[in-house]
Amino acid sequence: MREAKFYKKINESTVQCRLCHHFCAIRNGEVGNCSARKNQNGKLYSLVYGYPVAINIDPVEKKPLFHFMPGSFTYSLGTMGCNFHCKNCQNWDISQEKFIKEKEKNMEYFSPEKIVEEALGNDCESISYTYNEPTIWAEYALDIMRLARANNLKNIWVSNGFMSDECLEAVIPHLDAVNIDIKSFDDEFYKENIGARFKPVLENCKKIKQSNIHLEITTLIIPTLSDNTEMLKKIADFIVSELDSDVPWHISRFSPDISWKLRKLPETTEGIIYAAYEVGKEAGLKYVYTGNLPGDQRENTYCPKCGELAIRRLGYEIERLDNHGRCSQCDKNLDIIE
Q: Which is nearer to ligand SF4, 17 or 171 (CB)?
A: 17
- For ligand SF4, which residue has the nearest CB? 32
Q: Does the protein bind ligand SF4 through residue 136 (CB under 6 A)? A: yes
Contact between 161 and 205 under an 8 Å Cβ cutoff? The reply is yes
Q: Is the peptide bond before 64 cis (omega within 30 degrees of 0)?
A: yes
Contact between 91 and 78 under an 8 Å Cβ cutoff? The reply is yes
The separation between the first and the last C-alpha atoms of the chain, rounded to the nearest angstrom, is 39
Q: Does the protein bind ligand SF4 through residue 189 (CB under 6 A)? A: no
Q: Which is nearer to ligand SF4, 83 or 226 (CB)?
A: 83
Output the smallest distance, CB 37 to ligand SF4, in A: 4
Q: Does the protein bind ligand SF4 through residue 20 (CB under 6 A)? A: yes
Out of 15, 32, 115, 160, which residue is the one contacting ligand SF4 (CB under 6 A)? Answer: 32
Q: Does the protein bind ligand SF4 through residue 24 (CB under 6 A)? A: yes
Q: Which is nearer to ligand SF4, 83 or 184 (CB)?
A: 83
- Please count the residues of this chain forming the interface with ligand SF4, following the rule CB under 6 A: 13
The count of other CB atoms within 10 Å of the CB of residue 68 is 25
**Quick one: residue 103, left, alpha or beta (phi over 0 = left, psi -120 to 50 = alpha)?**
alpha
Out of 17, 156, 182, 217, which residue is the one contacting ligand SF4 (CB under 6 A)? Answer: 17
Out of 8, 14, 34, 202, which residue is the one contacting ligand SF4 (CB under 6 A)? Answer: 34
Q: Does the protein bind ligand SF4 through residue 83 (CB under 6 A)? A: yes
Q: Does the protein bind ligand SF4 through residue 168 (CB under 6 A)? A: no
Output the smallest distance, CB 18 to ligand SF4, in A: 7
Q: Does the protein bind ligand SF4 through residue 310 (CB under 6 A)? A: no
Amino acid sitting at position 308: E
Strand partners, 56: 76
Q: Which residues of 124-154 are buried (b: 16+ CB within 10 A; e: fewer)?
A: bbbbbbbbbbbbbbbbbbbbbbebbbeeebb
Q: Which long-range contacts (CB under 8 A, 24 or more apart) does 21-27 make?
A: 21/162, 21/163, 21/164, 21/196, 21/197, 21/200, 22/83, 22/162, 22/196, 23/164
**HSE-up of 54 (CA within 13 Å, CB side)?**
19
Out of 37, 154, 253, 286, which residue is the one contacting ligand SF4 (CB under 6 A)? Answer: 37
Q: Which is nearer to ligand SF4, 22 or 250 (CB)?
A: 22
Q: Does the protein bind ligand SF4 through residue 22 (CB under 6 A)? A: yes
Q: Does the protein bind ligand SF4 through residue 141 (CB under 6 A)? A: no
The count of other CB atoms within 10 Å of the CB of residue 202 is 17
Binding pattern to ligand SF4, positions 89-128, x when CB under 6 A?
Answer: ----------------------------------------
Q: Does the protein bind ligand SF4 through residue 288 (CB under 6 A)? A: no
Q: Which is nearer to ligand SF4, 23 or 238 (CB)?
A: 23
Amino acid sitting at position 78: G
Contact between 284 and 245 under an 8 Å Cβ cutoff? The reply is yes
* Strand-pair category, 37-40 with 301-302: unpaired
> What is the contact surface with ligand SF4 in residues (CB under 6 A)?
17, 19-20, 22-24, 32-34, 37, 83, 135-136
